[in-house]
Amino acid sequence: MTVARFDLHMHSCFSDGFLAPTELVSKVFEAGITTFALTDHDTIDGVREAQKQAALLGIECLSGVEISSKWRDTEIHIVALKIDINNEYLQEKLIEQKQRRRERAQLMSKELEKIGIKNAYEKVKERVGPVEIGRAHYAKLLIENGYGKDFQTIFKHYLTKGKPGYVSNQWPSLKEVLEWITTANGIAVLAHPGRYKLTANQLKHLLTNFKNEGGVAMEVVTASHNSQQIEQMAKLSDQFQLLASVGSDFHGEGVHAAKLGALSLLPSQCRPIWHYWSESK
Ligand code: AMP
Ligand code: MN
Ligand code: MN
Ligand code: MN
């Protein structure tokens, strides 16, 4: 019997990933994954291409998007799965997100000018065309200009709160984003909960709000969680009655730590998110 392999969080060059959807899906297939979701930041523009390639290879591609939101003072990412990509309300909201990204990218470019990088926005725009520029695009430019050796170093010194190239963003509230997802018949998953640097108490408050406002699942296994965090998140998913999701957050080889086909299995007490759609069939 073939064991289903899931990876419900990854990026293509329609946001800050390095592969085109078609190339990405081929890699997904080679890694032995049979169900995956393309979850670019605030855009669904790559989903159709990914689904087309997945159909050719006989694997399942769920529609997805990773939406940036704000909860208290923290930027929280919500992965929306199985959304109706034709839903006009969601499409409108994602256009607004792109506008927010564009304005931030232009402000960031001005900040980067102060530390010696000229015309960062124009330089990256030339490469990425219609894609909205995110921090990872600038990170690459900074590496090329000798500002640091890898993404980790660049983010630490330039692109995070309090650092010279950082510009805060007015993301919509967690509550608003959950409402968009619900309207588009999607399943809302809290992305990489271990990454937000919240205290145990704050994380519980976040999970309470998330659940009350329509959240369905949380990532338990993701590349940035160590084994202790996987255990902690498994317990919390149980306690808050949230389904457990699995996603690499793959952006391309050698750039971030995430690899395809290398995630550990969900701890046995978890209720996997895929039971949700197999039960409701
Ligand atoms: P943005 O959505 O434009 O604010 O950029 C966030 C993205 O930057 C994340 O999705 C990652 O791809 C990348 N990123 C954030 N922090 C780091 C880090 N410490 N190291 C490497 N990549 C990072
Ligand atoms: Mn990213
Ligand atoms: Mn994220
Ligand atoms: Mn991601």
Burial of 250 (0-12, 13-18, 19+ CB in 10 A): buried
pLDDT tens-digit profile of 175-227? 999 999 999 999 999 999 999 999 999 999 999 999 999 999 999 999 999 99
The verdict on the CB of residue 251 being under 6 Å from ligand 1 is yes
Let me know how long the chain is. Answer: 281
3-state secondary structure (DSSP) of residue 197: coil
Instruction: List the strands of the sheet with 35-37, edge to edge.
Output: 6-7, 35-37, 60-62
E runs forming strands in the chain: 6-7, 35-37, 60-62, 64-71, 74-81, 187-190, 217-222, 243-247
Q: Nearest C-alpha to atom 5 of ligand 1 is from which residue?
A: 135
Mean pLDDT, all residues of the chain: 95
Report pLDDT for 280: 63
pLDDT tens-digit profile of 232-267? 999 999 999 999 999 999 999 877 778 899 999 999
The verdict on the CB of residue 104 being under 6 Å from ligand 1 is no
pTM of the model: 0.97
* pLDDT (mean) for 49-69: 98
Phi/psi of residue 40, each to 5°? Answer: -65, 155
Report pLDDT for 179: 98
Tell me the CA–centroid distance for residue 60 and ligand 2, in Å. Answer: 22
Q: Nearest C-alpha to atom 13 of ligand 1 is from which residue?
A: 136
Which ligand 1 atom is at minimum distance from the Cα of 156? 19
**187-190 and 217-222 as β-strands: parallel, antiparallel, unpaired?**
parallel
Q: How far apart are CA 88 and CA 183, in angstroms?
A: 10
Burial of 91 (0-12, 13-18, 19+ CB in 10 A): middle
Burial of 9 (0-12, 13-18, 19+ CB in 10 A): buried
